[in-house]
Chain A
């Protein structure tokens, strides 16, 4: 499994964009980048995933570099409810398990 590296913590002002980086320099060509978040001690929640193209949904945008060695999750207008631990995970589809590292603790400040 490809490993990911994330900063342990970040702050963001409420209303501003939160940009969460993830390095995955050993990612293979058939591995996807997934993002999950965990609010307090709730079960992690799926946010978004992508292979090589940038992706956007109602929660966030995922920007993957052309060489696929890193990615950025963007929360365009962070709110206090976005305070959570964000996990970046790489995995193949169809059968490979998710490996959750320690993630990035994002604090959205008023």
Chain B
């Protein structure tokens, strides 16, 4: 089983719908992140959390919200999806030591 699991892996939805992407990890890491990747581009940080009571905005947080329900779970929500949120979304975890990131397999979201 993957250490960082994202669900769903693929989702097609319509403009205006609410979408939640979920991430769970079994690595015991305290830090969790959500990134977005558009075709041909690098990853951009949406939100990150250093522990259960900590939520921080990344460089592109507008239109997104997150919830850190437990140390192992970090969810990303799109309250009202729009087509330019069509992208590949990655969850990642890290410890506070080396800080090496461990990524999930990605969630491909298409907003029509």
- Cβ of B48 within 8 Å of any chain A Cβ, yes or no, is yes
A43-B90, A97-B48 given; A36·B98 CB < 8 A:
no
| A-chain residues with CB within 8 Å of residue B108 when the two chains form the complex | 41
Q: Which residues of A are found within 8 Å of B45, using beta-carbon distances?
A: 97-99
* Number of residue pairs A-B, CB distance < 8 angstroms: 52
A15-58 to B contact mask, C-beta < 8 Å, 1/0: 00000000000000000001010000111111001000000000
Say whether B106 contacts A43, CB under 8 Å: yes
How many residues of chain B get a CB closer than 8 Å to chain A's CBs?
A: 27
Whether B88 is near chain A, meaning CB under 8 Å from some CB there, is yes
State the interface size on chain A (CB cutoff 8 A). 22
Residue A43 contacts which of B48, B50, B105 (CB distance < 8 angstroms)? B105
Give the docked Cα–Cα distance between A95 and B45 (Å): 14
> With the chains together, A95 CA to B40 CA distance in Å?
27
CB of A25, distance to nearest CB on chain B (Å) = 19
A102 touches B105 (CB 8 A): no
Listed residue (A41, A91, A102) with the most chain B CB atoms within 10 angstroms of its CB: A41
- Across-interface contacts of A46 in B (CB, < 8 A): 100-102
Chain B residues at the A interface, C-beta cutoff of 8 Å:
4, 33, 35, 40-45, 48, 50, 58, 88, 90, 92, 96-106, 108
